[in-house]
Amino acid sequence: MKKPIDQFNVQVATIAHLGFAEELCGLYEESAKKRGTGIAKRDPAYIQEKIVQEKAIIATNANNELAGFCYIETWEGKNYVANSGLIVKEEFRKHGLAKKIKKFVLEYTRRKYPQAKIFGITTSLAVMKLNSDL
């Protein structure tokens, strides 16, 4: 029997995932309101750009529903790389999915930008702890 975490496919997002951009923006906005930060609003075009640039990681469930997401920012000729925008839909939390996404994005970032200094940007205490653990 599969463990709940094995039910999710974590991968580099492709153009097939562009349609999730609007839903993701809604998730970011909802999450920011719940946490009282108000800084997480994103535009669907921005999310789509990250997907097209192969700078986005997506998690889907067996029904190909959006479960989680994270993206990569680069600065100064790709010398500095940040993993940002980690989000997991509420109904898919408590299964270790955020950690699975973060591990994937970290490994992917190391392969894609081997010389870069990698860091995370977040306002979430839970994500800060996750970053520290990894």
CB atoms near residue 38 (< 10 Å): 10
The pTM for the full model equals 0.85
pLDDT in tens, 1-25: 455 667 899 999 999 999 999 999 9
Half-sphere exposure of 3 (CA within 13 A, CB side): 6
Strand-pairing partners, residue 83, are 72, 120
Strand partners, 87: 69
CB 122 within 8 A of CB 37: no
One DSSP character per residue, 59-102 reads EE-TT--EEEEEEEEEETTTTEEEEEEEEE-GGG-SSSHHHHHH
66-115 pLDDT, tens digit each:
999 999 999 887 788 988 888 999 999 888 898 899 999 989 999 999 99
